């Protein structure tokens, strides 16, 4: 059960309606045989589609272990919760509600026009208007229908997942969830990392210095409807847990549908991230895919050697490992990918102009506050 006492409003104002949810990630042509598993949200770095001769749906931990040992592909929905506390709360974030598909497409088109042709002031004003509308809404309900006050208590899959979009009916794509890959709707990227709490005041002061150089430019570089999200994270004794109390930082920003396409003022977010990881000893969020952020990160975990011992003991054949995890864990190779425009997508930290987009006016430059940073800056901004 989740008890939520504080809510940070975010997202865009969307209409609640029926929905066409994304397709089931597991599709089989004959029962549970001849199956395709589609990685809809692109969370893996090495593939989009996997194929399996047969899949199984375990009902217990024992069945799960047996299926893994047999080399079968597994897709499992786990809704285990502590039922001792009553409640049926729902995370009803506007962004997680359904909306007419045409409105989503039009909203994204307007956002692309602002990104490509708009001014920094125009981008910020548009985002602030949407944020103000969103803040007037209750994003949690206590019973799935109405909000009566805090605390909100409910099942994890209703409070931490996709809200009303999760169980919405098919309607032929008349309505959609904002992230549905079948439409040209919302598309963002997200940087996440944590900084030791003892160093947080200095880190935040440096971010403020960067913001104060040009507030409109800073506002335009991030999703101003949300801003920079900060949360406290307690230290953990887990081998790959936070070694000390920290603040978690999340920054969401626009992303083009065109690969390697520069975005307005991306150097601001890149400087913040390099500042956090290099100057203040931060560590990346394990669920993010910014390659450069993981370069050397594993050395910041004092108990990593204990983790690797356990990993080798329980997975000696590397069943749960791949090329990416070996690089992240410092076993073999570097997570950096060095090529033209690699810094545009966070695959590397630029060391020369070819890692940016010089043909479009983006060159590798030092950071404006953290001078040791190397970021892709537009020539008119530097």
Whether residues 249 and 290 fall in one domain: yes
Give CA separation, 42 vs 111, 151, 154, 290, in Å.
22, 34, 28, 13
Of 151 and 324, which is predicted with more confidence? 324
Whether residues 195 and 225 fall in one domain: yes
What is the spatial distance between Cα 182 and Cα 176, in angstroms, rounded to a whole number?
A: 9
Whether residues 13 and 30 fall in one domain: no
pLDDT in tens, 75-84: 433 344 567 7
Whether residues 159 and 95 fall in one domain: yes
**Residue indicated by tokens 């847990």:** 241
pLDDT in tens, 72-130: 444 433 344 567 788 888 877 777 778 899 999 999 999 899 888 888 898 888 888 88
Q: What is the DSSP string of 251-275?
A: EEEE--SSTT---TTHHHHHHHHHI
Whether residues 42 and 100 fall in one domain: no
Of 271 and 79, which is predicted with more confidence? 271
- Percentage, residues of the chain above pLDDT 90: 43
The domain that contains 228 carries what CATH number? 3.30.70.2520
pLDDT above 90 for 349: yes
Whether residues 293 and 344 fall in one domain: yes
- Could you say which of 156, 176, 196 is where a domain stops? 176
Is the entire prediction scored with pTM above 0.75? no
- Could you say which of 176, 197, 219 is where a domain stops? 176
Q: For the chain, what is the mean pLDDT?
A: 82
Q: Is residue 181 part of a domain?
A: no
Residue 214: pLDDT band with limits 50, 70, 90: very high
Whether residues 123 and 262 fall in one domain: no
Of 366 and 220, which is predicted with more confidence? 366
pLDDT above 80 for 359: yes
| Residue 55: domain span | 26-74
pLDDT computed for residue 62 by the predictor: 60
pLDDT in tens, 190-202: 899 999 999 999 9
Whether residues 54 and 194 fall in one domain: no
If one counts the domains in the chain, the total is 3
What is the spatial distance between Cα 328 and Cα 194, in angstroms, rounded to a whole number?
A: 17
């Amino acid at each position: 059960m989740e008890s939520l006492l504080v809510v940070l409003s975010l997202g865009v104002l969307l209409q609640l309606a029926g929905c066409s949810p994304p397709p089931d990630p597991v599709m089989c042509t004959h029962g549970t045989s001849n199956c395709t598993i589609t990685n809809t949200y692109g969370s893996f770095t090495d593939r989009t589609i996997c194929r399996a001769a047969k899949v199984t749906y375990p009902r217990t931990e024992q069945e799960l272990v047996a299926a893994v040992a047999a080399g079968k592909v597994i897709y499992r929905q786990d809704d285990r919760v502590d039922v001792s506390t009553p409640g049926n709360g729902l995370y009803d974030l506007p962004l997680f509600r359904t909306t007419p598909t045409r409105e989503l497409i039009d909203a994204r088109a307007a956002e692309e026009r602002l990104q490509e042709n708009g001014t920094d002031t125009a981008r910020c004003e548009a985002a602030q208007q949407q944020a103000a509308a969103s803040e007037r809404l209750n994003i949690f309900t206590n019973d799935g229908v109405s909000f009566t006050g805090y605390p909100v208590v409910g099942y994890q899959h209703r409070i931490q997942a996709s809200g009303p979009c999760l169980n919405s009916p098919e309607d032929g794509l008349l309505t959609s969830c904002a992230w549905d890959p079948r439409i040209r709707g919302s598309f963002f990227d997200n940087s996440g990392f944590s900084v030791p709490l003892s160093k947080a005041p200095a880190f935040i002061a440096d971010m403020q210095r960067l913001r104060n150089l040009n507030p409109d430019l800073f506002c335009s570089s991030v999703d101003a409807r949300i801003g920079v999200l900060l949360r406290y994270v307690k230290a953990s004794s887990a081998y790959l847990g936070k070694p000390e109390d920290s603040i978690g930082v999340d920054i969401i920003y626009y992303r083009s549908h065109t690969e390697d396409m520069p975005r307005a003022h991306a150097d601001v977010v890149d400087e913040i991230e390099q500042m956090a990881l290099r100057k203040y000893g931060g560590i990346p969020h394990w669920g993010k895919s910014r390659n450069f952020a993981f370069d050397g990160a594993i050395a910041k975990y004092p108990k990593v050697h204990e983790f690797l011992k356990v990993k080798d003991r329980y997975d000696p054949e590397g069943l749960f490992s791949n090329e990416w995890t070996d690089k992240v864990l410092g076993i073999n190779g570097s997570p950096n990918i060095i090529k033209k425009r690699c810094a545009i997508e966070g695959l590397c930290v630029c060391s020369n102009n070819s890692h940016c987009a010089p043909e479009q006016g983006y060159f590798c430059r030092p950071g404006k506050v953290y001078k040791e940073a190397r970021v892709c800056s537009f020539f008119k901004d530097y």
